[in-house]
Amino acid sequence: MRTLDDFSRPVEYLSPLDKYLGMIVRDWAEKHVIPYRRSFDEDWQEHELIEPAFKRLMGELGFQRILFPEDLGGWGLGHSDYLGTGAFRILEEVARADSGMAVAFGVIFWPLLMICVEPHVNRRLCEEFAPMFCGTSEPVFAANAMTEPQGGADIENLEVLKGSTIQTTARLEGDEWVINGHKLWPTNSGGVARLFGVVCTTNPGSTDPNDFAFIFVPADTPGVTQSPPYQKAGMAADKNGDIWLENVRVPSWYRAHGPGDDLKYFKEVISFGNMGSVAFVCGVMLNVYEILYDYCSNTYFRGKPLKENDDVAGVLADIASSLQVIRLTGYQLARMLDRPDLYGDRWSNEIVAKGRAIKYFACDRALEELGKAVKLMGACGSDRVCDVEKHWRDLKIVQLWMGGKQLCQMEVARWFFDCETL
């Protein structure tokens, strides 16, 4: 009998720890998430069901520590050659159980990437924040505060707008940054995160890369307020809300790197966001494959199992083919992030554009296939008892975030066709 593990991966460049990390997360998913996930939608505000599973994965098993250096209590993945492929496997396994949990978990590392990853480790900030994540068995979340009300994805449109639309300001007063602004939609907002990475400008309206600032703000800093989470179509495990920053003061060294480098390394965050998105897609599709395998073997049409009908088999083949291609492509993207010596800097426009291309291809294709799966299963497809509809709902926002499809298209066209005015 075939299983999800029969979908190919490039085994010649997987992490030596891949097998063990995968087993640990899969075991966690089977015991702590999959039996409960059907009720997550009703738990979107309180997280009474979701929180214990996070506690197990992040706090007790320790996955929230993976980026920090070993001497600070972390697992040292930030200076590993397998950061991309290792993270891909972990995120894929979490998303197989619940892509909302995968997003909330994965986004912890978004702001931390700025300071924990070679070649741009900020040792002082690692020492400052390591105890928050590594010194506890409780789950601790972080968030990247990017999007703003007036322009949505314009913040992420770095190459053209160069931060000129950012309205959140950072003003240096003595040895402190004073931050004012309003952010929307960060994953792990809505009262969850203990640490924010805030995208700011030191000179509103400027296109000078030196004026782009990425500053860490602990959530309990005076002047930080958060709204309750928004209600959404799915992704209950991922809370999103408003963050208001009013005369928020943090030490000047809470800025990730400084003029020029903040913007440069922030593009690396986008690259990892692209890779993580593809990992979420893979995890979801792997579980949909498992569900379809069972359903189409045990449901009968024309007197034989559904999967034994040629026309149905054609649809199943489409789904399997897409998964096979997306998984291989996703791991290849992860490999490209692991080997900048071969493929270029992770923050380069080339890697960002190629990541965008793979991300939006994977999302479009996966949503198309999930739509077919829901339709193929008839009434069972849209009932929560089969979980396919949950994956279909959850996955949609993976396609929409980080600037959505249109921004992906622009960045891809801009790089591959040398467009100059998009």
Partner 1 sequence: MRHLDVFPVPREWLSESDIALSETIENWAEKEVIQKRLSLRESYDSLLLPAMKSLFCDVGLQKIVVSEDGEYDKAAYPITAVLACEHTAMADTGISALLSNLLVFEYLILWSRDCGCKIPDELLKILEKEKPVICSLVLPMYGRKGQKPQKRLNGLCYQVEIQTENSGFFVTGSGVRPQVSGHDASVYLVLAGDNNGEPVLLVVPREARGVLPGEPLKSTGLAASRNADVDFNDVEIGEEYIVARGDEYLSHLQNLYYATSAAAALGAVLACFDIHREWGNTRVIKGKRNIFKENPLVASLMGTIASRIASARFLVYGMGKMIADLLHGKLPAASASFFISAATAHVFEIATTCVDNMMEHMASAGYATEWNLERYWRDIKTLESYVLPGTVLNMRAASHSYGVKNL
Q: Which residues bind partner 1 (CB under 8 A)?
A: 38, 41, 147, 150-154, 157, 160-161, 164-165, 184-185, 230-234, 240, 298-303, 306, 309, 311-312, 315, 367, 371, 374-379, 381-385, 389, 392-393, 396-397, 399-401, 403-406, 409-410
Smallest gap from residue 270 Cβ to partner 1 (A): 16
Smallest gap from residue 291 Cβ to partner 1 (A): 14
| Residue closer to partner 1, measured from CB, 23 or 419 | 419
58-61-67 Cα angle (round to 5): 60
Return the structure tokens found at 257: 């790197």
| Residue closer to partner 1, measured from CB, 8 or 39 | 39
| Residue closer to partner 1, measured from CB, 172 or 233 | 233
Smallest gap from residue 83 Cβ to partner 1 (A): 28
Is 212 within 8 Å of 267 (Cβ atoms)? no
| Residue closer to partner 1, measured from CB, 25 or 145 | 145
Smallest gap from residue 238 Cβ to partner 1 (A): 11
Name 225's bridge partners: 244
CA distances from 145 to 90, 140, 213, 240, 346 (A): 24, 16, 12, 11, 21
| Residue closer to partner 1, measured from CB, 23 or 313 | 313
Is 51 within 8 Å of 128 (Cβ atoms)? no
| Residue closer to partner 1, measured from CB, 93 or 154 | 154
Smallest gap from residue 410 Cβ to partner 1 (A): 7
Burial of 308 (0-12, 13-18, 19+ CB in 10 A): middle
Total Cβ atoms within 10 A of residue 315 = 19
Q: What phi, psi does 230 have (nearest 5°)? A: -75, 150
| Residue closer to partner 1, measured from CB, 10 or 371 | 371
Smallest gap from residue 316 Cβ to partner 1 (A): 11
Smallest gap from residue 145 Cβ to partner 1 (A): 14
DSSP per-residue letters across 213-230: EEEEEETTSTTEEEPPPP
Smallest gap from residue 376 Cβ to partner 1 (A): 6
Residue with tokens 């793979």: 358
Smallest gap from residue 22 Cβ to partner 1 (A): 30
Q: What is the Cα–Cα distance from 242 to 391, expressed in whole angstroms?
A: 25
Indicate left, alpha or beta for 219 from its phi (over 0: left) and psi (-120 to 50: alpha).
alpha
Indicate left, alpha or beta for 74 from its phi (over 0: left) and psi (-120 to 50: alpha).
beta
| Residue closer to partner 1, measured from CB, 29 or 315 | 315
Return the structure tokens found at 179: 């931050």
| Residue closer to partner 1, measured from CB, 160 or 325 | 160
Burial of 391 (0-12, 13-18, 19+ CB in 10 A): buried
